[in-house]
């Protein structure tokens, strides 16, 4: 039996609750948290003792450590990218680590578990190292995500891919906010969109997205990936604006989203855990956007909005 991979996420204790919510998005079976900020009070409340080991008393009270355990058939590389992207989007200072496998080994060790994956009715996502042999009538999306988020296996990405099938038309222009591996922009073009523009604050993600575009035969001007934030890096209006990020980032970005939407355009948002639905809906409404379609999978939400 192969070993599981233990990931550790170290964050300020004041932000441990939000970071734990993000960590729980990665693994359905829970996490283990080290937080010694209220050690004395909790020792008394739980065990009714006030004699505590000196090693515990010496622990850093300003930091919490969240432990996640990734099973062999899943991708530590994608889990790492997801955690880094979501924690950064929430403005949480963090350190990521592993007790079993070095970070630079993850991108290779998990590859044997990433197999061609049919998504929706029209696409099959195929890793570059194991091309799909039986595709039927599906378009093949070749991808090597490296250390960027987006293989299509996560519920958030799959929900958007399935939604894009219904909204991409031959004259569609797509804006992908937080492009990650570029998977959504590439999918949009394979589904027949006229053009796709992606933007991400992470230079590694942009570089990966450019490389994945080339793998599928896409390059400027039809396929353009840019580093920067939405407000300053992007110009123009688009018939489909898509953001597969976290709730707080969607709340912040939504005030600008309508500025980049064509008059009859749609704004597709995903990466929303169900406990944050009310917050996101409130923000969308305040920005003059109405949800016209809602999809859910394993506690994750994807919404389609219009003016």
Going by pLDDT thresholds of 50, 70 and 90, the confidence category of residue 40 is very low
Tokens 């959504």 sit on residue = 184
**Residue 80 confidence (pLDDT):** 86
27 — pLDDT class (breaks 50, 70, 90): confident
What does pLDDT average to over the chain?
83
More confidently predicted of 95 and 51: 95
**Contact predicate 209/225, CB 8 Å:** yes
Confidence of residue 75 (pLDDT cuts 50, 70, 90): confident
Closest CA to 144 of 165, 169, 125: 125
What is the SS3 assignment for 14?
A: helix
Please give the pLDDT value at position 37: 55
Q: What is the pLDDT of residue 299?
A: 83
- For residue 186, pLDDT beyond 90: yes
pLDDT of residue 52: 38
Q: Is the pLDDT of residue 25 over 60?
A: yes
Which among 130, 72, 77, 149 has a CA at the least distance from the CA of 107?
77
Inform me whether the pLDDT recorded for 73 exceeds 90: no
Both tokens of residue 303? 């919404």
Q: What is the pLDDT of residue 61?
A: 66
pLDDT in tens, 203-244: 888 999 999 999 999 999 999 999 988 878 889 999 999 999
Residue with tokens 């093949």: 140
The token pair that represents 102 in the structure block = 């070095």
Assign 281 a pLDDT band (cuts: 50, 70, 90).
very high
Confidence of residue 294 (pLDDT cuts 50, 70, 90): very high
Nearest to 166 by CA among 301, 297, 295, 273: 295
Distances in Å between the Cα of 153 and the Cα atoms of 74, 93, 120, 207 are: 9, 27, 12, 21
- pLDDT beyond 50 at 47: no
Tokens 């809602």, residue located? 294
Q: Taking the mean position of all CA atoms in its chain, how far away is CA 167?
A: 21
What are the structural domains of the chain? 5-109 (3.30.70.120), 148-306 (3.40.50.150)
24-38, 129-143, 278-292: which is most confident: 278-292
In angstroms, the CA 68 to CA 45 distance is: 26
Q: Do 150 and 110 form a contact (C-beta atoms < 8 A)?
A: no
Q: Are 66 and 11 in contact (CB under 8 A)?
A: yes
For the chain, give the percent of residues with pLDDT over 70.
82
Residue 82 is given by DSSP the state H
pLDDT in tens, 6-18: 888 999 988 888 9
- Least confident range of 70-84, 105-119, 125-139, 186-200: 105-119
Cβ partners under 8 Å of residue 235, min gap 6: none
Q: From start to end of 24-104, where are the E strands?
A: 32-35, 63-70, 95-98
Confidence of residue 51 (pLDDT cuts 50, 70, 90): very low
Whether residue 171 is predicted with pLDDT greater than 90 in this model: the reply is: yes
pLDDT band at residue 150, thresholds of 50, 70 and 90?
Answer: low
């Amino acid at each position: 039996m192969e070993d599981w991979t233990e990931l550790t996420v170290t964050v300020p204790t004041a932000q441990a609750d939000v970071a734990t919510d993000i960590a729980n998005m990665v693994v359905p079976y829970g996490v283990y948290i080290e937080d010694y900020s209220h050690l004395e009070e909790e020792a008394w409340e739980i065990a009714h003792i006030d004699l505590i080991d000196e090693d515990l008393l010496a622990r850093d009270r300003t930091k919490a450590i969240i432990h996640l355990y990734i099973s062999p058939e899943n991708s530590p590389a994608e889990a790492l990218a997801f955690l880094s992207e979501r924690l950064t989007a929430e403005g949480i200072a963090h350190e990521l680590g592993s007790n079993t496998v070095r970070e630079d080994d993850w991108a290779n060790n998990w590859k044997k578990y990433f197999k061609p994956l049919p998504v929706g009715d029209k696409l099959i996502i195929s890793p570059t190292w194991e091309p799909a042999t039986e595709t039927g009538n599906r378009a093949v999306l070749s991808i090597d995500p490296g250390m960027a988020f987006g293989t299509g296996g996560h519920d958030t990405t799959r929900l958007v891919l399935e939604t894009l099938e219904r909204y991409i038309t031959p004259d569609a222009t797509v804006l992908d906010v937080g492009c990650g591996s570029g998977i959504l922009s590439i999918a949009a073009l394979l589904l027949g969109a006229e053009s796709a523009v992606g933007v991400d604050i992470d230079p590694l993600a942009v570089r990966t997205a450019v490389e994945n575009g080339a793998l599928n035969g896409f390059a400027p001007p039809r396929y353009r990936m840019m580093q920067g934030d939405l407000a300053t890096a992007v110009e123009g209006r688009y018939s489909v604006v898509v953001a597969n990020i976290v709730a707080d980032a969607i709340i912040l970005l939504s005030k600008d989203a309508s500025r980049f939407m064509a008059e009859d355009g749609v704004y597709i948002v995903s990466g929303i855990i169900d406990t944050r639905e009310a917050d996101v809906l409130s923000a969308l409404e305040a920005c003059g956007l109405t949800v016209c379609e809602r999809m859910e999978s394993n506690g994750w939400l994807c919404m389609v909005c219009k003016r």
